[in-house]
Amino acid sequence: MLNEKNQAIVKSADGSISAGVDATFSPKRRTIIQAASFAGAGMMGLSTGGVWAAGSDKPEKEEVRVGFIPLTDCASVVMASVLGFDKKYGIKIVPTKESSWASVRDKLVNGELDAAHVLYGLIYGVHLGIGGAKKDMAMLMALNNNGQAITLSKKIADKGAVDGPSLAKLMQTDKREYTFAQTFPTGTHAMWLYYWLAANGINPMKDAKVITVPPPQMVANMRVGNMDGFCVGEPWGHRAIADGIGITAITTQDIWKDHPEKILGTTADWVAKYPNTARALTAAVLEAGKWIDASLSNKAKMADTIADKAYVNTSVDVINQRILGRYKNGLGKTWDDPNYMKFFNDGAVNFPYLSDGMWFLTQQKRWGLLKEDVDYLGVAKAINRIDVYKDAAAMTKTSVPKSPMRTSKLMDGVVWDGKNPQAYAASFKIRA
């Protein structure tokens, strides 16, 4: 059972942000974008004739419904459809806007969605039966690294809480119940928030109230005072600054440089039933990520596209600044961040590292979501479909790392390499 204190759902507090209402994307605008993109794609040897071999390699399913949440990091899924990369691999991606991660979870499990832009930890949680009904799941590829943030309300920033240490100090001197929001109990934002709070001496399970809020509703809820801080993906961190209601306390890339974030997820049953489709989908989205990272003009075109009401539904300037690494914290500080959101980075972003998946398991154990240690490596091998990814990488001429494990140093100097996950999970002084 999940801690009920950390599961509360906050409904949209006002009508300023629409969550999950499908709006019609202008056919005229889409035609213009596609015409321009196909012109560029032709120079890359892109055609609509398909690149699979004749016969058994053809995708079993031509139309693929891929769910997404209105966040900047849905971009490679959307652009794979808008730019026609899906057609190159013999499929049609139908991006489907969802209202919450719980909705994505439910529709993946019941088959309404074929795949989704989804939280890494959500897929792992469903596979293990925490955070929802148990079902064997599959991760096809990582969609992005970096690009999330922890936002503190302007109200507590005005009292001096502008980063981790000053927040901890305020919570000691101005005692009351402090509320923080994440987007799904087993997801990435919960883990970044918990790790950051704990690194600053705050136990998220004992010293604060943690609630679950869908990403598009974060800013509206902070505006009316429902939380003191939140962790979410862009553009909602920057939106809080633009609206004058929040400040950026830390970016997630400063918690873990080049951390794994959203993934292309589905069920194990779906991959077993449609293996060629899974490979084609992975290749199309991989090629879209490569396109996004290829140039500043591509990033700008991507921002213009996904800002549309059919996708993220916000102004372009709220997306494009941080996607280019241009950050401001809402307190007068501006900087160029080299570790901004990346979608390809020569393939380093997308490989389904086993150690990345194992890290989420260690944190789920740390915070009591998992009651017992599991076969960390075995679970990661079952979920992370390196076989499918390698086939897609070969189709897109994407380099693949030599090892399925990688080493990372997090904000507190603790090194994660996947070698002893049980000891790592138990090593933290602050835990559930």
* CATH number of residue 352's parent domain: 3.40.190.10
- Encode pLDDT of 339-382 as tens digits: 999 999 999 999 999 999 999 999 999 999 999 999 999 999 99
Determine contact, residues 312/95, Cβ cutoff 8 Å: no
**Taking residues 126-132, what's their average pLDDT?**
92
Strand partners, 327: 335
What residue type is 395 in one-letter code?
A: M
Distance CA 126, CA 107 (A): 12
Tokens of 86: 């899906």
Does the pLDDT of residue 58 top 50, yes or no? yes
* Total count of domains within the chain: 1
User: Is residue 429 in a domain?
Assistant: no
pLDDT confidence tier of residue 132, bands split at 50, 70 and 90: confident
The whole-number pLDDT of residue 56 equals 76
User: Is residue 300 in a domain?
Assistant: yes
The mean-pLDDT minimum among 18-27, 47-56, 415-424 falls in: 18-27
pLDDT confidence tier of residue 395, bands split at 50, 70 and 90: very high
Which phi and psi (to 5°) does residue 146 adopt? 65, -170
The whole-number pLDDT of residue 41 equals 41
User: Is residue 312 in a domain?
Assistant: yes
Determine contact, residues 244/329, Cβ cutoff 8 Å: no
pLDDT > 90 in the chain, percent: 86
Which phi and psi (to 5°) does residue 313 adopt? 65, 60
User: Is residue 141 in a domain?
Assistant: yes
> What is the CB neighbour count within 10 angstroms for residue 238?
27
What residue type is 245 in one-letter code?
A: I
User: Is residue 279 in a domain?
Assistant: yes
The mean-pLDDT minimum among 44-58, 209-223, 314-328, 370-384 falls in: 44-58
User: Is residue 270 in a domain?
Assistant: yes
Question: What is the extent of the structural domain holding 130?
Answer: 27-145+260-326+340-356+369-404
User: Is residue 96 in a domain?
Assistant: yes
The whole-number pLDDT of residue 51 equals 54
User: Is residue 212 in a domain?
Assistant: no
Q: What is the 3-state secondary structure (H, E, C) of 362-394?
A: HHHHHCCCCCCCCCHHHHHHHHECHHHHHHHHH
> What is the CB neighbour count within 10 angstroms for residue 76?
30
pLDDT confidence tier of residue 27, bands split at 50, 70 and 90: very low
**Taking residues 27-48, what's their average pLDDT?**
38
